[in-house]
Amino acid sequence: MTTGVIPGGQPPEPRPTGTRMPHQRREQVGRGSLHVDDRSRSSVITARAAASFEPVGRSVATARAFVRDTLQGWGFADVIDDAVVLTSELVTNAVVHAGTSADVLCLRTEHGVRVEVADRYPEREVPLQGSPATMGSPDREGGRGLQLCAALAGRWGVDYTPTHKNVWFQLDLPERPVGTRAAGPPLPADLLPLADGRVRVAVVQIDRKGAITAWNEDAEELFGHSATQVTGRPLTDLAAWPHTPGTGTGVAEALRLSRWEGTYGIRAADGRVNPVYASHLRVRDAGGEPSTVCLLVREHERAVLQTPARVPVSDTGQSADGQGADPFEVFIGSPAPDDLDGLLQRTVERARDMLDGDSAFLLLATDDETELEVRASTGLPSARQRFARVPVEAGPGRYGSARMPAVHDDLAAVPGAVPLLAGTGMRSVVTVPLKVEGRLTGSLGVAAEAAGRYSNEEALRLQFAADRIALAVESARLGELERLRRGSLSFLVEASDLLAGTLDRDQTLALMAQMTVPTLATWCAVYTIADPASDPYLSYVLHEDEDLIDGIKSLLSKIAPPDPVPTPGARVWPVPGEVAHRAALRSSMRSLGLSGGPTHQITSGMGPTLAVAGAVGGETVVLPLVARNRVIGMLTLGKPADEHFRQEILELAEDLSRRAALALDNARLYSERTAISQSLQRSLLPPALPTIGGVDVDVIYRAAGEGNEVGGDFYDLFPIRDGVYGFAIGDVCGTGPNAAAVTGLARHALRLLAREGLSGPAVLERLNSAILDEGDRSRFLTLLYGEMRPQDDGTAELKVVCAGHPLPLRLRQDGSVEAAAEPQPLLGVIDELELYEQTVTLDPGDVLLCVTDGVTERREGTRMLGDDGLADVLATCTGLTAGAVAARIMRAVERFASDAPSDDMAILAMRVPGVQES
């Protein structure tokens, strides 16, 4: 079905009829005689609504609902029944008997309504009134629509074109005395609708684009937004659930209707959703520009705006065409809402109207049938009650169980009998169960402010309606549950990917909070427990409104954390809401001067206190974070004031908490391992370099990987005796604990043996034996070891042994580069080594560069830096200090390839200052 609404203005001809053909007939029949078509004298058309229906049987019911809703919105309750009957017959003729699609057009005039039904079967003969043979029997399959038009419509007629037949009828509104459109009987004061203090009516004007153009003082008082804050914003930015409950449309669609009444929510400045009852009227200014005037009151004050309820639908289930209508359709109306929330909201609206109640509510049972969850209500503070849970068996006896119908004449005599109605002013209530195949699926109730309003007769009527909607409600609930579970599965897969993508503890905490807010909760706090003997620590707080995070963090830091109970599942933690409420109350009292002291000093802090109280004033639950059979923290989720969690959300949060706990524990273990590795790596390197007179020395060390493994590269520079210094740079095969053991052995053995006065070859031979003594833990080692003696003439004498290590390079002042040693066997492979040392003299300005193989084996695809590439870079370092030489070499190595280095790198540069420098 496609629909369109064009309010206001003087429209063109309702539908083009094409060229008048010779065989075309235009006739119009009144209630008693045939007369000439006088449609040219009709009033100005002020609104129109159009819809097209496919040639299927269900289109008849959809067309009836379209006409009923349209005329109800226009305020034409007096002619709705006749219009629905006629439309039903004419659409049936088109889509059932003629087998074509049907176009329905409703036109509103000053004095009535005109409805046109067009089909695509123009050859049908038109029966004329006064010709009984042509009209046929009322029992015929077809033709009754025109008979009914002749009997019910003030004027009607048929237009023919080569492709269409258009049947139209016009219903005039009855003459009514001024000021008596609708009236009700006088009521005693105790039965009048209850209003809290002054009744405020928000007047909001919306332009044709849906933007707010006017916002009165009552609107500011009800919702907290000033006119300057909302002017120009779309109303849909402030509208919240339920969007137009009981209809299939949203607020944006409702604003385009000529007239509309219903319930939805407005999000106030403090973030809370205020249920309102709204009456929309489409108007136009002197320039013809359309706009919508919206009158809004608190939902429980709906009687201020609501038009009188229609006569309850008969339970006989007979449609206009005499066929038995679907009992579900009779009660719920047509078309039925596609979504579960819309279906439930329309159900409570119809149930309340059917029993002439002041409020109604519908609860759905959990899977184990132990609790009922509030899913829809009308006439009650729905934001406070939505998703609240009550036990199925609330007390002993029949009236304490939701499995049986129950009637309470006076709730004041049995306080607490219906917890949902506590504090609402309702006195009498009737509740009935919703059952499918003997299983409890929900409960439907209607309540009134007066006592003794309901008896068993009303309970039977309500049970009759509940039996007809139970299956549809359960089917819609299962469909919603299936969609929710599919969404939950997608959510958990994405959450697992995100949590597995990091091993950083702080980032894991942030991800946990960001995945829950606002998807699962309005705010969240994560507590962590370092070890079983430690108290829970507040590690992270997040709220969907960043301005409230500090306030919530301050509040939670002042109260004891929840107990770290390992029991799975969510448990309610009321402490934050209670503490916030007391703090807000004290702040309010101080602001009023009730506790002494200057008022102006306190008022500035009142706003944040009240905002925090509203933010954490709803339901708060705690889920344990259990990993490896230990509670490592707690995930706390909260709702704003008077809101509850639905059971499916808590189950999803529990699944998330299990994954988050394991990710958090993995991050903890990784952080501990990284800290240990970094500490061990620092212990394998010298804490500082000694200052050597006459020689400039600098070192750069870069560990590969993420820092969670101990590297095999090391360096050292240490004094042996006066004027003599030992230096070493080496690389142990592999990484990890075994490599670290060999690294530590090599570094400390070098110092000890060198200080014993042994020569370089002797030191390395003793070290080789020590490495081989390690047995299976031994690793081969490449090592460049040397002794340096600064000379009085400004030179430096070096004795070097290069055991399998990349050769040291010497840079002269003229820019030439040459190897400063010869290669010899590496350590840790063979028992008998015959090593020798070589003497190198560094002249003023010369540089000796020593590196590990991570530098020379730097790769980019098939290219490798190599010894030649390193020599080319070193040749550009003439005149640079040792630190500048090391830095230039490191930059060249890093830029050689785009990927991060895969091996540790150590660079040791020693330079003898030039003559002018010294």
* Rounded-to-5 percentages of helix, strand, coil across the chain: 35, 25, 40
Provide CB contacts within 8 A for 18, sequence distance 6+.
161, 162, 163, 164
- pLDDT tens-digit series, residues 637-676: 988 876 778 888 888 888 888 888 888 888 888 877 777 7
Average pLDDT over residues 753-781: 85
Higher pLDDT, 802 or 265: 802
How far apart (Å, rounded) are the C-alpha atoms in residues 542 and 548? 9
Please state the φ and ψ torsions of residue 808, each to the nearest 5 degrees. -70, 150
Please state the φ and ψ torsions of residue 531, each to the nearest 5 degrees. -155, 165
Residue 591 has pLDDT above 70, yes or no: no
Range from 142-151, 198-207, 867-876 carrying the lowest mean pLDDT: 142-151
pLDDT score, position 10? 41
How far apart (Å, rounded) are the C-alpha atoms in residues 352 and 637? 35
| Highest-pLDDT range among 203-217, 271-285, 327-341, 602-616 | 203-217
pLDDT score, position 327? 56
Nearest-5° angle of CA 171, CA 176, CA 178?
140
- E strands, 680-780, are 696-702, 713-721, 724-732
- pLDDT tens-digit series, residues 152-190: 888 888 888 877 888 999 998 877 655 545 555 566 666
Provide CB contacts within 8 A for 802, sequence distance 6+.
784, 808, 821, 822, 823, 824
Q: Which helix (H) or strand (E) holds 592?
A: none
Torsion, Cα of 662, 664, 670, 674 (10° steps): -170
pLDDT score, position 41? 42
pLDDT score, position 706? 58
CA diameter of the chain: 139
Q: Which helix (H) or strand (E) holds 161?
A: none
pLDDT score, position 484? 77
How far apart (Å, rounded) are the C-alpha atoms in residues 243 and 152? 37
Higher pLDDT, 597 or 560: 560
pLDDT score, position 243? 42
Average pLDDT over residues 452-457: 87
Residue type, 501: G
Closest to 226 in 3D by CA, of 217, 235, 239: 217
pLDDT more than 70, % of the chain: 80
Average pLDDT, the chain: 79
Q: Which residues of 156-183 are buried (b: 16+ CB within 10 A; e: fewer)?
A: bbbbbbeebbbbbbbbbeeeeeeeeeee
**Are 264 and 242 contacting, i.e. CB atoms less than 8 angstroms apart?**
yes
Give whole-number Cα distances, 63 to 50, 67, 767, 799, in Å.
Answer: 10, 6, 97, 103
pLDDT score, position 710? 62
Torsion, Cα of 891, 712, 719, 874 (10° steps): -30
The C-alpha R_g of the chain, in whole angstroms, comes to: 43
pLDDT score, position 202? 94
pLDDT score, position 394? 67
How far apart (Å, rounded) are the C-alpha atoms in residues 300 and 297? 8
Please state the φ and ψ torsions of residue 318, each to the nearest 5 degrees. -100, 130
Confidence at 115, pLDDT banded by 50, 70, 90: very high
Confidence at 219, pLDDT banded by 50, 70, 90: very high
How far apart (Å, rounded) are the C-alpha atoms in residues 661 and 654? 11
Higher pLDDT, 548 or 335: 548
**Are 679 and 744 contacting, i.e. CB atoms less than 8 angstroms apart?**
no
Sign of CA dihedral 719, 723, 729, 730: negative
Confidence at 618, pLDDT banded by 50, 70, 90: confident
pLDDT score, position 880? 92
> Running DSSP on this structure, what letter comes out for residue 831?
S
Terminal Cα distance for the chain, rounded: 95
Closest to 274 in 3D by CA, of 284, 266, 282, 263: 266
Closest to 230 in 3D by CA, of 294, 135, 316: 294
pLDDT score, position 244? 39
pLDDT score, position 14? 43
pLDDT score, position 312? 43
Closest to 819 in 3D by CA, of 849, 860, 784: 849
Provide CB contacts within 8 A for 722, sequence distance 6+.
none
**Are 248 and 335 contacting, i.e. CB atoms less than 8 angstroms apart?**
yes
Nearest-5° angle of CA 577, CA 582, CA 584?
95
Residue 45 has pLDDT above 60, yes or no: yes
Higher pLDDT, 776 or 892: 892
pLDDT score, position 811? 93
Higher pLDDT, 733 or 227: 227
Closest to 540 in 3D by CA, of 519, 517, 563: 517
Residue 28 has pLDDT above 50, yes or no: no
| Highest-pLDDT range among 236-250, 492-506, 599-613, 795-809 | 795-809
Range from 60-64, 391-395, 552-556, 567-571 carrying the lowest mean pLDDT: 391-395
pLDDT more than 90, % of the chain: 20
pLDDT score, position 430? 92
How far apart (Å, rounded) are the C-alpha atoms in residues 385 and 639? 13
| One-character DSSP codes across 461-502 | HHHHHHHHHHHHHHHHHHHHHHHHHHHHHHHHHHHHHHHHT-
Please state the φ and ψ torsions of residue 500, each to the nearest 5 degrees. -75, -15
Q: Give SS3 for 914.
A: coil
User: Partners of 701 in the beta sheet?
Assistant: 906
How far apart (Å, rounded) are the C-alpha atoms in residues 521 and 645? 8
Q: Give SS3 for 722.
A: coil
What's the pTM value of the predicted model, to 2 decimals? 0.49
CB atoms within 10 A of CB 81: 15
Residue 30 has pLDDT above 50, yes or no: no
Average pLDDT over residues 76-92: 84
Give whole-number Cα distances, 592 to 115, 198, 588, 595, 613, in Å.
Answer: 62, 21, 6, 8, 18
Residue type, 312: P
Report residue 798 CA to chain centroid gap. 69
Closest to 49 in 3D by CA, of 61, 65, 66: 66
Angle between helices 144-152 and 80-92 (to 10 degrees): 160
Confidence at 384, pLDDT banded by 50, 70, 90: low
**Are 713 and 731 contacting, i.e. CB atoms less than 8 angstroms apart?**
yes
pLDDT score, position 20? 37
Average pLDDT over residues 335-344: 74
Residue type, 278: A
pLDDT score, position 196? 62
pLDDT score, position 588? 65
Closest to 297 in 3D by CA, of 149, 207, 198: 198
Higher pLDDT, 80 or 328: 80
Confidence at 82, pLDDT banded by 50, 70, 90: confident
Residue 797 has pLDDT above 90, yes or no: yes
Q: Give SS3 for 645.
A: coil
Residue 736 has pLDDT above 90, yes or no: no
